[in-house]
């Protein structure tokens, strides 16, 4: 069966199921007995279609559309009862699959952050005075030359706190600004990329580059990863308003926003881990190679899990066995 034939032969039933779910609005009893039975019939058909799509068209958007449809249908048909172990399952599998299912959006978010960072780094190396004027005072210590005028342990601790707090704020803001169809997210990513590049370039130009790299790499790689993932989640939610597909804009946004919130919640423990790396690894006076190696290893672990655990399931799963696919906390 070709993809075109699959969509043309089954699309009417998917749209009918979407319409019934939209009308039910989380309260299937509104539909009445006959249409409620029809809802269950269409849901089971969509679950079977999802199994076929996962086998035949695993990388096509039709699979994601059916996964969302079956998830909504399962919640409506079987209710939103929490499942034992649902949080563990979310952290072990569902989070990674949700992050990995939109690699293009991840690439856009990474480019919006790292592209300006690279340009700003070149700018700071060539025009350090101009870059220094751009860098906020709380981050200026990283750009001071080593020696008597360089950073003290107290200054480094203050800088570390400022940077960690800043990155947490940015993580939430790039997600929240996704509501602007991703425009606000892209602007904030670009600004922080310029800030990162300017600080990095200025630090190297001042002869403080080695110390700055030793400071940044152990926790910064993971923090930047969290920012990119949260930004991609925000863009996904906002873009659902621009391109809702066959759904109404409100329904498309509701579905994607719920999944995006799950991404942010699943990313928070990794931000906490980045803070722990700073507090208990980098700050212990170990040889520089040790915290750098740990930071690179954790960075590789995170993206390795995205690649390995993010692969779509090919076999049966809860949404095909007749149970709902829960949200991160087991609630709608």
The CA-atom distances, in angstroms, between 126 and each of 30, 86, 120, 190, 216 are 67, 52, 10, 20, 22
Domain extent listing, the chain: 3-79, 100-308
Q: Would the pTM count as exceeding 0.85? A: no
The confidence score (pLDDT) of residue 232 equals: 95
The confidence score (pLDDT) of residue 162 equals: 66
Nearest Cα to Cα of residue 163 among 205, 119, 125, 219: 219
Per-residue pLDDT of 160-181, as tens digits, reads 666 667 778 888 899 999 989 8
For 246, phi then psi, to 5°, come to -85, 0
The confidence score (pLDDT) of residue 154 equals: 53
Per-residue pLDDT of 199-246, as tens digits, reads 999 989 888 888 888 888 888 899 999 999 999 999 999 988 888 876
For 156, phi then psi, to 5°, come to -65, -40
Number of CB atoms found within 10 A of residue 160's CB: 17
Q: What is the DSSP letter of 81?
A: P
Please give the chain's pLDDT, 332 residues, in tens: 788 888 888 888 988 888 888 887 767 777 777 877 888 888 888 888 888 888 888 878 888 888 888 888 887 776 644 444 577 888 888 899 999 988 999 999 999 999 999 999 999 999 988 888 888 877 777 677 654 444 455 555 555 666 667 778 888 899 999 989 889 999 999 999 999 999 999 989 888 888 888 888 888 899 999 999 999 999 999 988 888 876 678 877 888 888 899 899 999 999 889 888 877 776 667 788 888 999 999 999 999 999 999 987 654 333 333 333 333 333 33
Q: Round to whole Å and give the CA distance between 315 and 322.
A: 14
How far does CA 326 lie from the centroid of its chain?
Answer: 18
Q: What is the DSSP letter of 312?
A: P
The confidence score (pLDDT) of residue 314 equals: 56
């Amino acid at each position: 069966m070709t993809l075109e034939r699959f969509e043309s032969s089954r699309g009417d039933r998917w749209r009918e199921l979407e319409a019934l779910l939209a009308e039910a609005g989380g309260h299937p009893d509104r539909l009445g007995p006959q249409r409620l039975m029809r809802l269950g019939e269409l849901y089971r058909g969509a679950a079977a279609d999802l199994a076929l799509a996962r086998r035949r068209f695993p990388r096509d958007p039709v699979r994601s559309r059916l996964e969302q449809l079956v998830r909504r249908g399962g919640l409506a048909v079987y209710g939103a009862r929490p499942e034992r172990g649902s949080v563990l399952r979310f952290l072990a599998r569902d989070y990674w699959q949700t992050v990995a299912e939109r690699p293009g959006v991840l690439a856009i978010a990474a480019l919006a952050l790292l592209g300006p960072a690279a340009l700003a780094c070149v700018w700071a190396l060539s025009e350090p005075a101009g870059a220094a004027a751009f860098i906020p005072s709380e981050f200026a210590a990283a750009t001071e030359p080593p020696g008597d005028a360089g950073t003290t342990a107290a200054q480094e601790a203050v800088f570390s706190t400022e940077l960690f707090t800043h990155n947490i704020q940015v993580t939430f803001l790039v997600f929240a600004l996704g509501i602007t169809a991703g425009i606000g997210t892209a602007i904030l990513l670009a600004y922080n990329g310029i800030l990162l590049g300017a600080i990095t370039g200025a630090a190297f130009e001042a002869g403080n580059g080695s110390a700055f790299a030793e400071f940044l790499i152990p926790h910064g790689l993971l923090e930047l990863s969290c920012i990119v993932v949260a930004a991609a989640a925000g863009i996904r939610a906002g873009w659902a308003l621009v391109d809702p597909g066959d759904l109404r804009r409100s329904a498309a946004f509701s579905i994607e926003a719920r999944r995006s919130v799950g991404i942010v919640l699943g990313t928070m423990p990794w931000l906490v881990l980045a803070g722990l790396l700073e507090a208990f690894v980098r700050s212990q006076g170990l040889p520089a190679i040790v915290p750098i190696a740990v930071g690179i290893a954790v960075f590789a672990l995170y993206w390795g899990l995205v690649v390995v655990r993010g692969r779509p399931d090919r076999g049966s799963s809860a949404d095909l066995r007749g149970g709902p696919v829960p949200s991160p906390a087991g609630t709608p």
